[in-house]
Amino acid sequence: MRKSYIFLVFVILAVISGWYLGSLAKNNQNTLGNGGGISVDLIVRHYRNGTLISEQYKKGDPFTKNFMLNIYALLNGYGSSVSMQDETNTARSIDYGSLFAGTAYVGIGTGTNAFDINNYNLISPIAWVQNSATSTSSIGTKGNISFSASFSLSSAATITEVGVKVTEGGYNFLILRDLITPINANAGDTITVQYIIRLNG
Amino acid sequence: MRKLPVILLSIFLISFIASSAFSLREGRGIMEVFVNLKVYDAKGTLIKDITMRDPLTQAMGGFVNRLLFWTASATDESGTSRSLGTGVSGPVYICVGTGSPVNPAYSDYKLVYLLQCVQASQSTMSIVGNRGSISLSASFAFSQQYTITEVGLRKYLSYNYLLAHDALPSPVTVPAGGKLTVTYIIRINSGV
């Protein structure tokens, strides 16, 4: 019986030390320097008769290949165009001079397919609304860019996905898409979607 | 009981690997910016190799903002605020400096003490599963010894904009006749 207890203690110690050292090893790789990158926070609110009845907060809304191609173009000093899939899944060659055009839309939909980096549209979009003007703030090494959109539903729907598309060269390209906890909305309900783009956050 | 060390070592290793994998899943859609510096001596022998995460600056924020809305601005390297227009056609440079002290801030628009900028190589891009990677690099050859303390990424678009800037964890000395290679690696959806 005593041997069993000793064995159990050693097993627990092995698990704890392994887990701790594993996380240290990972953190050491990522925390040299002062941190850097972009992450996305998503806040979705559901209102009925003007009353907030649910709110969900998600961190790390994933980026699509189209977003990546925009960053690639920004960081590539040699190319002249990128080929992106527009919202109809048609390949469009967009000149570098037409990128970062400053028009974006937030969408909601009822699709349930898992995120795929090659997503070119919401799976089942039901509405797109041009985003609000962005607001920015910063402190220390961190910067935030936030924007939102509001949707008034004309019919009942179960909202399961949200996303952002940008207009470049006359076409629309999905840059963010994520699934959310399903929202059972009635006709007349309002859904607001807020994005916070965090730089170094 | 004789097998106990093997069993415990196995449990330790499984926990170690699981912990690392769990850390990778944090942040899901995050875009991470890494910079790698390799220092070679005059004989071409690698003498230092460090990788760190490099903070983005207000100019990068300005470009991301411009992707999403038409009124966006960024401060150029002269300290002048400029409205950003449509388009991103222009060369990219990797810069190193010898500034001291270097206290990186989001508001940075230039290196503290710029030593040299070199146009970056053509960027490469790859996607595996839902994760992507973009990388670009530049090499610096020095005829005399320099001690590098800071690194940055610059975009030229009528004006110079500093997109990323960081202090090195510790100064890096490049010997006379040596070479410094700086590579930026941008990882997309590293946690998906």
pLDDT per residue as tens digits for the range A170-201: 999 999 999 999 999 999 999 999 999 999 97
Alpha-carbon torsion angle B9, B11, B17, B19, nearest 10: -130
Task: Reply yes or no on whether the pLDDT at B12 is more than 80.
Answer: no
The distance of B142 to chain A (nearest Cα, Å) reads: 24
Taking a C-beta distance cutoff of 8 angstroms, is the pair B77, B159 a contact? yes
pTM over 0.90: no
**Number of Cβ atoms within 10 Å of the Cβ of A174:** 25
Residues whose CB is less than 8 angstroms from the CB of residue A20 and which lie 6 or more positions away in sequence, other chains included:
B19
- Count interface pairs A-B at CB distance under 8 A: 265
Question: Which positions in chain B touch A166 (Cβ < 8 Å)?
Answer: 67-68
Rounded distance between C-alpha atoms, residue A71 and residue A75, angstroms: 6
- Interface residue B175 vs chain A (CB under 8 A): no
Would you call B61 and A143 a contact, using CB atoms and an 8 Å cutoff? yes
Confidence label for B32 from pLDDT (cuts 50, 70 and 90):
very high
ipTM of the complex: 0.86
- The DSSP bridge pattern shows strands A125-130 and A104-109 to be antiparallel
- At which residue do the structure tokens 């090499």 appear? B139
Q: What is d(CA A117, CA A119) in angstroms, rounded to the nearest whole number?
A: 6
User: CA torsion, points A10, A13, A15, A19, in degrees to nearest 10?
Assistant: -160
Residue indicated by tokens 């090494």? A141
CB-CB under 8 Å, B184 with A75: yes
CA distance B99 to B111: 7
Q: How confident is the model at residue B190 (pLDDT cuts 50, 70, 90)?
A: confident
* Chain B stretch 114-173, residues whose beta carbon is closer than 8 A to a beta carbon of chain A: 119-120, 122-123, 125, 127, 129-132, 134, 136, 153, 155-156, 163-164, 166-169
Please judge whether A36 and B32 are an interchain contact, meaning their C-beta atoms are less than 8 angstroms apart: yes
pLDDT in tens, chain A (201 residues): 667 777 777 777 777 776 666 555 544 444 466 678 999 999 999 999 999 999 999 987 899 999 999 999 999 999 899 999 999 999 999 999 999 999 999 999 999 999 999 999 999 999 999 999 999 999 988 999 999 999 999 999 999 999 999 999 999 999 999 999 999 999 999 999 999 999 997
Question: Where does chain B have alpha helices with state H?
Answer: 4-25, 58-68
Q: Is the pLDDT score of B27 beyond 90? A: no
